[in-house]
C-alpha cells in the first residue's frame, strides 16, 4: 500500500544510503516491522507485569519501601 510520511532530511538520506539496492520502501517496511514487534512484545510484558502486580500478596508498606529504594538507587546511578 502506498502511503505518505514526513521524515527528517538527514534521516531520509541515511536510510537511502543504507537501504542500497533493496530500496527505501523495503528498508522502511522492514524497520517498521521490527519496531512493531518490539513494541508489541513490550506491551505484552507490561500487561503481564500488571497482572502479576494485581495479584501480588505483598503488603503495600513493603511495596512502598521497595519503590522508595528504587528511586534512591536511580538517583545514584543517573547523577
Q: Confidence band (pLDDT; 50, 70, 90) for 52?
A: very high
In-domain check, residue 4 = no
In-domain check, residue 51 = yes
Domain count, the chain: 1
Residue whose C-alpha cell reads 513490550 in the numeric block: 42
This prediction has a pTM of 0.66
C-alpha cell at 11: 534521516
In-domain check, residue 1 = no
Residue 33 lies in domain: 9-78
CB under 8 Å to 28, separation ≥6 — which residues? 15, 19
Residues 24-45 have pLDDT tens digits of 999 999 999 999 999 999 999 9
Secondary structure, 3-state, 1-59: CCCCCCCCHHHHHHHHHHHHHHCHHHHHHHHHHHHHHHHHHHHHHHHHHHHHHHCCCCC
Amino acid at each position: 500500500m502506498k502511503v505518505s510520511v514526513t521524515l527528517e532530511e538527514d534521516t531520509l538520506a541515511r536510510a537511502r544510503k543504507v537501504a542500497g539496492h533493496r530500496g527505501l520502501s523495503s528498508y522502511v517496511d522492514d524497520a517498521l516491522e521490527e519496531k512493531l514487534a518490539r513494541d508489541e512484545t513490550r506491551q505484552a510484558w507490561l500487561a503481564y507485569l500488571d497482572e502479576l502486580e494485581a495479584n501480588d500478596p505483598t503488603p503495600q508498606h513493603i511495596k512502598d519501601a521497595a519503590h522508595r529504594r528504587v528511586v534512591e538507587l536511580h538517583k545514584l546511578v543517573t547523577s
